[in-house]
Protein backbone atom coordinates (compact mmCIF):
# COMPACT_ATOMS: atom_id res chain seq x y z
CA UNK A 1 0.00 0.00 0.00
CA UNK A 2 1.39 3.40 -0.96
CA UNK A 3 1.98 5.60 2.10
CA UNK A 4 0.82 9.17 2.34
CA UNK A 5 3.24 11.70 0.91
CA UNK A 6 4.63 14.64 2.84
CA UNK A 7 3.81 18.24 1.96
CA UNK A 8 6.16 20.71 0.32
CA UNK A 9 5.89 23.94 2.30
CA UNK A 10 7.87 27.07 1.36
CA UNK A 11 8.51 30.25 3.29
CA UNK A 12 9.37 33.35 1.31
CA UNK A 13 9.62 37.00 2.28
CA UNK A 14 11.77 40.06 2.48
CA UNK A 15 14.98 40.01 4.48
CA UNK A 16 14.61 40.08 8.28
CA UNK A 17 10.99 38.93 8.11
CA UNK A 18 11.92 35.91 10.26
CA UNK A 19 11.81 33.13 7.64
CA UNK A 20 14.59 31.01 9.10
CA UNK A 21 13.32 31.28 12.70
CA UNK A 22 9.81 30.36 11.58
CA UNK A 23 10.99 27.42 9.44
CA UNK A 24 12.81 25.97 12.45
CA UNK A 25 9.85 26.48 14.78
CA UNK A 26 7.48 24.87 12.28
CA UNK A 27 9.68 21.80 11.84
CA UNK A 28 9.95 21.41 15.65
CA UNK A 29 6.20 21.77 16.13
CA UNK A 30 5.41 19.24 13.39
CA UNK A 31 7.92 16.75 14.77
CA UNK A 32 6.54 17.17 18.29
CA UNK A 33 3.05 16.39 17.02
CA UNK A 34 4.35 13.17 15.47
CA UNK A 35 4.50 14.37 11.86
CA UNK A 36 7.83 13.66 10.15
CA UNK A 37 9.29 16.98 8.95
CA UNK A 38 12.65 18.32 7.82
CA UNK A 39 13.99 21.74 6.93
CA UNK A 40 15.77 22.65 3.72
CA UNK A 41 17.04 25.98 2.48
CA UNK A 42 17.96 27.53 -0.85
CA UNK A 43 20.57 28.28 -1.81
CA UNK A 44 21.95 25.06 -0.34
CA UNK A 45 25.53 26.25 0.09
CA UNK A 46 26.91 22.78 0.83
CA UNK A 47 26.99 21.45 -2.75
CA UNK A 48 29.62 22.30 -5.38
CA UNK A 49 27.15 24.62 -7.13
CA UNK A 50 26.10 26.02 -3.74
CA UNK A 51 29.69 26.92 -2.94
CA UNK A 52 29.96 28.95 -6.17
CA UNK A 53 26.77 30.80 -5.19
CA UNK A 54 27.97 31.35 -1.62
CA UNK A 55 31.24 32.85 -2.75
CA UNK A 56 29.28 35.18 -5.10
CA UNK A 57 26.90 36.26 -2.31
CA UNK A 58 29.82 36.91 0.02
CA UNK A 59 31.34 39.06 -2.77
CA UNK A 60 34.43 36.86 -2.85
CA UNK A 61 33.82 36.25 -6.56
CA UNK A 62 31.90 37.85 -9.41
CA UNK A 63 29.58 36.00 -11.76
CA UNK A 64 27.69 37.23 -14.78
CA UNK A 65 24.02 37.87 -13.81
CA UNK A 66 22.41 35.26 -16.12
CA UNK A 67 25.00 32.72 -15.04
CA UNK A 68 24.35 33.12 -11.35
CA UNK A 69 20.61 32.99 -11.95
CA UNK A 70 21.00 29.64 -13.67
CA UNK A 71 23.26 28.40 -10.89
CA UNK A 72 20.58 29.23 -8.28
CA UNK A 73 18.11 27.23 -10.37
CA UNK A 74 20.56 24.35 -10.90
CA UNK A 75 21.07 24.27 -7.13
CA UNK A 76 17.34 23.57 -6.74
CA UNK A 77 17.25 20.99 -9.54
CA UNK A 78 20.19 19.06 -8.09
CA UNK A 79 18.20 18.59 -4.86
CA UNK A 80 14.99 17.47 -6.62
CA UNK A 81 15.67 13.69 -6.47
CA UNK A 82 16.28 13.94 -2.72
CA UNK A 83 13.23 16.15 -2.19
CA UNK A 84 10.98 13.72 -4.09
CA UNK A 85 12.35 10.77 -2.16
CA UNK A 86 11.67 12.40 1.19
CA UNK A 87 8.18 13.56 0.19
CA UNK A 88 7.35 10.04 -1.00
CA UNK A 89 8.56 8.70 2.36
CA UNK A 90 5.91 10.87 4.03
CA UNK A 91 8.32 13.56 5.23
CA UNK A 92 7.03 17.12 5.07
CA UNK A 93 9.68 19.52 3.79
CA UNK A 94 9.78 23.05 5.15
CA UNK A 95 11.84 25.10 2.73
CA UNK A 96 13.48 28.47 3.43
CA UNK A 97 13.30 30.25 -0.01
CA UNK A 98 12.61 28.56 -3.35
CA UNK A 99 12.10 29.46 -7.01
CA UNK A 100 10.13 32.58 -6.01
CA UNK A 101 13.23 34.16 -4.48
CA UNK A 102 15.07 33.13 -7.63
CA UNK A 103 12.66 34.99 -9.92
CA UNK A 104 12.14 37.97 -7.58
CA UNK A 105 15.82 38.70 -6.95
CA UNK A 106 17.12 38.37 -10.51
CA UNK A 107 14.18 40.22 -12.07
CA UNK A 108 14.95 43.13 -9.72
CA UNK A 109 18.22 43.57 -11.63
CA UNK A 110 18.27 45.89 -14.67
CA UNK A 111 17.53 44.21 -18.00
CA UNK A 112 15.75 41.12 -16.64
CA UNK A 113 12.08 40.27 -17.10
CA UNK A 114 10.14 38.14 -14.66
CA UNK A 115 9.11 35.72 -17.38
CA UNK A 116 12.69 34.85 -18.37
CA UNK A 117 13.65 34.52 -14.71
CA UNK A 118 10.87 31.99 -14.04
CA UNK A 119 11.71 29.73 -16.99
CA UNK A 120 14.59 27.63 -15.58
CA UNK A 121 12.45 26.63 -12.59
CA UNK A 122 9.39 25.53 -14.61
CA UNK A 123 8.59 21.94 -13.63
CA UNK A 124 10.22 21.90 -10.18
CA UNK A 125 8.18 20.12 -7.51
CA UNK A 126 5.28 22.48 -6.86
CA UNK A 127 4.88 23.62 -3.26
CA UNK A 128 1.58 22.68 -1.64
CA UNK A 129 1.77 25.98 0.23
CA UNK A 130 3.88 29.12 -0.10
CA UNK A 131 3.74 31.55 2.79
CA UNK A 132 4.97 35.07 2.19
CA UNK A 133 6.14 36.76 5.38
CA UNK A 134 5.13 40.35 4.86
CA UNK A 135 6.93 43.14 6.69
CA UNK A 136 6.99 46.77 5.59
CA UNK A 137 10.44 48.30 5.00
CA UNK A 138 10.16 50.63 8.03
CA UNK A 139 9.49 47.72 10.38
CA UNK A 140 12.22 45.66 8.77
CA UNK A 141 14.65 48.52 9.40
CA UNK A 142 13.78 48.45 13.12
CA UNK A 143 15.00 44.86 13.25
CA UNK A 144 18.59 45.94 12.64
CA UNK A 145 21.08 46.74 9.95
CA UNK A 146 21.44 44.84 6.71
CA UNK A 147 24.28 42.37 6.49
CA UNK A 148 27.20 42.68 4.15
CA UNK A 149 26.18 40.12 1.52
CA UNK A 150 25.20 41.05 -2.00
CA UNK A 151 21.56 42.27 -2.38
CA UNK A 152 21.38 43.47 1.22
CA UNK A 153 20.42 47.09 0.59
CA UNK A 154 17.02 48.66 1.21
CA UNK A 155 16.74 49.99 -2.36
CA UNK A 156 17.24 46.54 -3.89
CA UNK A 157 14.98 44.85 -1.31
CA UNK A 158 12.17 47.28 -2.23
CA UNK A 159 12.43 46.22 -5.88
CA UNK A 160 12.47 42.56 -4.83
CA UNK A 161 9.32 43.10 -2.77
CA UNK A 162 7.55 44.51 -5.87
CA UNK A 163 8.54 41.42 -7.86
CA UNK A 164 7.17 39.16 -5.13
CA UNK A 165 3.86 41.08 -5.35
CA UNK A 166 3.71 40.25 -9.07
CA UNK A 167 4.48 36.57 -8.42
CA UNK A 168 1.74 36.41 -5.78
CA UNK A 169 -0.87 37.30 -8.41
CA UNK A 170 -0.43 33.84 -9.92
CA UNK A 171 -3.47 31.78 -8.84
CA UNK A 172 -1.79 28.48 -9.80
CA UNK A 173 0.32 28.77 -6.63
CA UNK A 174 -1.24 28.39 -3.16
CA UNK A 175 0.02 31.68 -1.67
CA UNK A 176 -0.78 32.82 1.86
CA UNK A 177 0.39 36.20 3.10
CA UNK A 178 1.49 36.18 6.73
CA UNK A 179 1.72 39.37 8.78
CA UNK A 180 5.29 39.10 10.05
CA UNK A 181 4.99 42.20 12.25
CA UNK A 182 3.19 40.16 14.94
CA UNK A 183 5.22 38.55 17.72
CA UNK A 184 7.12 35.31 16.97
CA UNK A 185 4.53 33.02 18.64
CA UNK A 186 1.53 34.57 16.87
CA UNK A 187 3.29 34.34 13.50
CA UNK A 188 4.16 30.72 14.30
CA UNK A 189 0.53 29.82 15.20
CA UNK A 190 -0.64 31.33 11.92
CA UNK A 191 2.00 29.44 9.91
CA UNK A 192 1.27 26.19 11.73
CA UNK A 193 -2.44 26.32 11.05
CA UNK A 194 -1.93 26.90 7.30
CA UNK A 195 0.67 24.12 7.26
CA UNK A 196 -1.56 21.53 8.94
CA UNK A 197 -4.25 22.16 6.32
CA UNK A 198 -1.68 21.81 3.52
CA UNK A 199 -0.35 18.56 4.99
CA UNK A 200 -3.86 17.09 5.07
CA UNK A 201 -4.57 18.12 1.49
CA UNK A 202 -1.20 16.87 0.25
CA UNK A 203 -1.96 13.39 1.58
CA UNK A 204 -4.80 13.15 -0.94
CA UNK A 205 -3.25 14.91 -3.96
CA UNK A 206 -0.27 14.11 -6.18
CA UNK A 207 2.75 16.40 -6.16
CA UNK A 208 2.38 19.06 -8.87
CA UNK A 209 4.83 20.76 -11.24
CA UNK A 210 5.62 24.42 -10.67
CA UNK A 211 4.51 27.03 -13.26
CA UNK A 212 3.39 24.36 -15.76
Would you call the peptide bond into 43 cis, given omega within 30 degrees of 0 as the criterion?
yes
**Span from 98-106, 129-137, 175-183, 194-202 in contact with ligand TMP (CB under 6 A):** 98-106
Closest approach of ligand TMP to the CB of residue 201, in Å? 25
Whats the size of the chain, residue-wise? 212
Residues 6-45 interacting with ligand TMP (rule: CB under 6 A): 42-43
CA distance 188 to 178: 10
Closest approach of ligand TMP to the CB of residue 1, in Å? 36
Number of residue whose CB is nearest ligand TMP: 102
Crossing angle of helices 99-107 and 65-77, rounded to 10°: 180
Question: Which one among 16, 25, 97, 126 touches ligand TMP, defined by CB under 6 A?
Answer: 97
As a whole number of Å, the CA-based R_g of the chain is: 17
Question: Which one among 87, 105, 117, 127 touches ligand TMP, defined by CB under 6 A?
Answer: 105
Taking residue 32's Cβ as centre, other Cβ atoms within 10 Å add up to 9
| CB of 79 or CB of 199, closer to ligand TMP | 79
| CB of 4 or CB of 119, closer to ligand TMP | 119
CA distance 97 to 64: 22
**Span from 5-13, 94-102, 166-174, 192-200 in contact with ligand TMP (CB under 6 A):** 94-102
| 72 near ligand TMP (CB under 6 A) | yes
CA distance 81 to 104: 25
Residues 125-164 interacting with ligand TMP (rule: CB under 6 A): 151
Q: How many residues bind ligand TMP (CB under 6 A)?
A: 9
Question: Which one among 22, 92, 101, 195 touches ligand TMP, defined by CB under 6 A?
Answer: 101
Picking from 206, 193, 174, the residue whose alpha carbon sits closest to that of residue 87 is 206
Contact 139, 19 (CB under 8 A): no
CA distance 180 to 132: 9
Q: Which residues bind ligand TMP (CB under 6 A)?
A: 42-43, 57, 72, 97, 101-102, 105, 151
Amino acid sequence: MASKRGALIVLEGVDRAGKTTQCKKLVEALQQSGRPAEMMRFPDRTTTIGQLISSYLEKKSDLEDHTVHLLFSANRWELVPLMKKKLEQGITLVVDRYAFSGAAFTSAKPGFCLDWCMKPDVGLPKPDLVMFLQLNPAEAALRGQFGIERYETSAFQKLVQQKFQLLMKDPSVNWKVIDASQNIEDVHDNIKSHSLKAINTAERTPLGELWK
